Amino acid sequence: MSKLREDVRVGMLGAAGGVFSFSVFLLVARVDAHYAYMSWLEKTNYATYERGVENLWWLPIVFWHVLLSVVASFLTHRYLAASQKSPFLLWQVVGTIALLGWAPTLSVILGLEYLMYRDIDSLERTLRSVDAGYTAKYFAAIFASNVLFGSALEAASRQYAEKEAP
């Protein structure tokens, strides 16, 4: 029963880490959208933000990122928890594995799109639609939130470890 309880805790922490990291990214996207709107109002720079936060395009991405974070959390706690004593570094590994999980995901998506349409134009259109700056903001926000999440878990685990010691 304790193994099941530990797995549930690890899964919940992975899901919380995934939701927290994506919420930081959505906060950054919302701030960008606000500044683009303010710029449009001033008519100094007509730079509309084509990927606003309001139209909910991000919901499937959040679901997949949370799923990747849970799987990364299970893998990391199963194979690296014994060798890694710091919860901070352990959650940095979880975040990195979750981000690396996007590479096969995008490869499968692009491969399926190529198989369905049999032309390279759809592949080029898909690659063009992924903005490099937007992707860089995503990775930066995910890494920053993993640092915050790992720091919070480090502080919480230190507090509980001190209570259990006597």
pLDDT of residue 43: 62
On the question of pLDDT at 11 being above 80, the answer is yes
Per-residue pLDDT reduced to its tens digit, 130-145: 566 777 878 888 888 8
C-alpha–C-alpha distance, residues 161 and 155, integer Å: 10
Predicted structure pTM score: 0.75
- Rounded CA-CA distance 123/109 in Å is 10
pLDDT above 50 (res 46): no
Using the predicted structure, report yes or no on whether residue 67 has a pLDDT greater than 90: yes
CB 97 within 8 A of CB 72: yes
8 Å CB contact between 38 and 30: no
pLDDT tens per residue, range 142-160: 888 888 888 887 787 765 5
Which residue ranges make up each domain of the chain?
Answer: 2-164
pLDDT in tens, 71-122: 998 888 888 877 777 778 888 888 889 889 988 988 888 788 778 877 666 5
Determine the length of the chain: 166
166 DSSP 8-state letter = -
Packing angle of the helix pair 59-79, 87-100 (nearest 10 deg): 130
Higher pLDDT, 27 or 33: 27
Higher pLDDT, residue 117 or 14: 14
